[in-house]
Amino acid sequence: MLFGKDSFRKKNIGKYIIGYELGKKHVQISYLKIGDKEPETFSTVAGQEQYNIPFVMYKQEDKNLWYIGKEALAKYEEMGGVLLTDLLENAYRQETTEVNLETYDSAALLALFVKRSLSYLSFVAPVEKQAAIMFTVETLNQKTVEVLREMVEYLQMPQVLIQFMGKEESFFYYNLHTDPSLWANRVYMYEMQENKLQSYQLYLNRQTKPVVTLIEKKEYEEFPMYENEEPTGEEKEVRDQIFLEYVTEDMEEKIVSTVYLIGDGFLGEWYQKSVRFLCGKRRVFLGNNLYSKGACFALLDKMEPTELSVSYVYLGTDKVKANVGMELIRQGAPSYLAILDGGSSWYDCKKEWDMILEGDNRLVFRITPLDGKNTTRAEIVLHGLLMNKSPLCRIRAEGYMENPTTLKLKFREMGFGEFYPSQGQYWEETIEL
């Protein structure tokens, strides 16, 4: 929980939260005013559902002017020169980019694009009214997090809370904010860009508390490319038949409540037979802004947790799979100190605390998996701890996740009062969850 519900509303009344999808070839931006329930998505054409902002940049050679999106494409077509693409991939590779004999850091260019694109919201959600932004990307790993954090430094928006998540988690939060009947059973989402198809299967383990939500990702062989920009009827039928075989196999012996079809690859309504099959006892939705809306809902739930949002937890590859805490004595009685919350993103997990040891150098940590499996204990011994001068010793501890499964622990002996100064002892340990 980032803020108490009342304090968050009071502090940010009239402000907005932003869901920002960073795709490979386009971005999308959704926004939600604090207190409202349904996000809106920015459209490049007023009154139409044209949500994709081309992920490209252009710098005019004779002037120090930068353009992004459709403006960049138009300037490039008019004036030639260099059109900057693959902005996110270049940042991941830490490549520099040369434009008009000047060299730019890839993370700085990424930040410039993001800042310019956020200015599209100036009439509804200008920067001074933005409370928080959630960026959602294809894959969230340690390298991605490093790049995004570098981008945030270039953005220079200290007044705005900025977080990150993967697309699967955006899918989870989007579902959580739909009618519960739509995810009573399994949910499938098929995403198609050009001739590439991938699916996300969402299902819940209702035997656990909170309910654990899992998402399985699957990639398929590429569809045959169209010979011309406008496909023939035969080419559409071929693509429809291939897709029908995929979905038929996916849903064999499964109870599926809802299917989402997203991405530019589903334009043209070539999937007639497939849709007839999918609509049998299932709800089917065609859309294009699920990820950015899901990112908005995620921020909403993190800032203002509800009974529903705390009853379900998503366990993706970037999530900590267990609760971790210490077993200790507090005021003479056995107690438990929570260290890490299962279901949190590993890169957000960090805690510092002080404790007093009395004649013992053993620390016991309790690990409780979220999938309902048996609780385990890990014992750490602070070898060589010097306690011969004082029966009590204060230890300052720090715990953080190095990756989704490795907990790093650091301990520093702090002495006990001015009569028993610190000996400067220090330990580092790891626990595999």
Which CATH number does the domain housing residue 418 bear? 2.60.34
> CB-based contacts of 165: which residues, under 8 Å, 6+ apart?
134, 135, 136, 137, 140, 295, 298, 345
Same domain membership, residue 156 and residue 38: yes
Same domain membership, residue 265 and residue 374: no
Instruction: Tell me the pLDDT tens digit for each residue of 261-307.
Output: 999 999 888 999 999 999 998 999 998 899 999 999 999 998 888 89
Same domain membership, residue 365 and residue 268: no
Q: What is the pLDDT of residue 3?
A: 45
Q: Which of 166, 194, 217 is the last residue of a domain?
A: 166
Q: Which of 146, 166, 186 is the last residue of a domain?
A: 166
Q: What confidence category does residue 329 fall into, taking pLDDT thresholds of 50, 70 and 90?
A: confident
Q: What is the CATH number of the domain that holds 39?
A: 3.30.420.40
Instruction: Tell me the pLDDT tens digit for each residue of 42-65.
Output: 999 888 888 999 999 999 887 788
How many structural domains is the chain composed of? 3
> CB-based contacts of 432: which residues, under 8 Å, 6+ apart?
405, 406, 407
Same domain membership, residue 395 and residue 332: yes
Q: Which of 276, 292, 308 is the last residue of a domain?
A: 292
Omega prior to 180 cis, within 30 of 0: no
Same domain membership, residue 126 and residue 189: no
Q: What confidence category does residue 177 fall into, taking pLDDT thresholds of 50, 70 and 90?
A: very high
Domain of 273 in residue numbering reads as 171-292
Same domain membership, residue 282 and residue 331: no
